[in-house]
Amino acid sequence: MLVEGIKSRPVYKGLALQPHARRHLFVLEGEGANALLDQTDRLDETILSRSEILYVARGSQGRGHDVALQRLGADMFFTAPTIPTLLFRLRVSLSNAHMGTRLYIAGTEGFIGQAMMVALELGMDHASILTEHRGSLARRVQCVHCKGITDDVTHSPFSCGHCGLPLLVRDHYSRRLGAFQGVNIDAEEPGTAPDPEELFL
């Protein structure tokens, strides 16, 4: 049901540490913590003294990632209770950032998209932001008809929570919105939408 090979589909190359950066800003959600924790052997005192870690435990409560991240000994560490709180803190950190700051984002696709939107709004080039997908494959989807955005979509088609239309989740991704596009699947023959299929677990 998905269209393969759409060029807008994000590619997450992984968090490759840039040792010569003046400042390292790690923005992590849930299992995204492991993208950094898996590299502890490369985190020397110099890198950690120039690092700020922002973390939200969404999707991984009780796994102790926050404790493990704090033990790394970064210059600054902040645990946010929600994604909006983390994004607010990210905006403040980037507003005060200097040239030579490297941004690393890891977590679910929806989280990466939202964090990248903040960075792009503040003038960062998307090609210079290092990203790694970890955790659920659930998508953040915008209905192209009512413009409402639904988080954590795991199946297609799904019923838009804003206008109720049955939406086919396309592989077309909008970097500006940090979301995939959902289009009415039975526009020509209402009531003929196929049964939902779980695609993004």
Q: Does residue 1 carry a pLDDT above 50? A: no
**pLDDT at residue 59 in the model:** 64
Encode the chain in three state secondary structure: CCCCCCCCCCCCCCCCCCCCCCEEEEEEEHHHHHHHHCCHHHCCHHHHHCEEEEEECCCCCCCCHHHHHHHCCCCEEEEECCHHHHHHHHHHHHHCCCCCEEEEEEECHHHHHHHHHHHHHCCCCHHHCEEEECCCCCEEEEECCCCCEEEEECEECEECCCCCCEEEEEEEEECCCCEEEEEECCCCCCCCCCCCEECCC
Which tops the pLDDT comparison, 87 or 59? 87
**pLDDT at residue 145 in the model:** 94
Strand bridging mode 51-56 / 23-29: parallel
* pTM of the predicted protein model: 0.86
Give the whole-number percent of the chain exceeding pLDDT 70. Answer: 93
**pLDDT at residue 41 in the model:** 92
pLDDT in tens, 39-75: 999 999 999 999 999 999 976 555 789 999 999 999 9
Q: Which two tokens stand for residue 3?
A: 């269209």
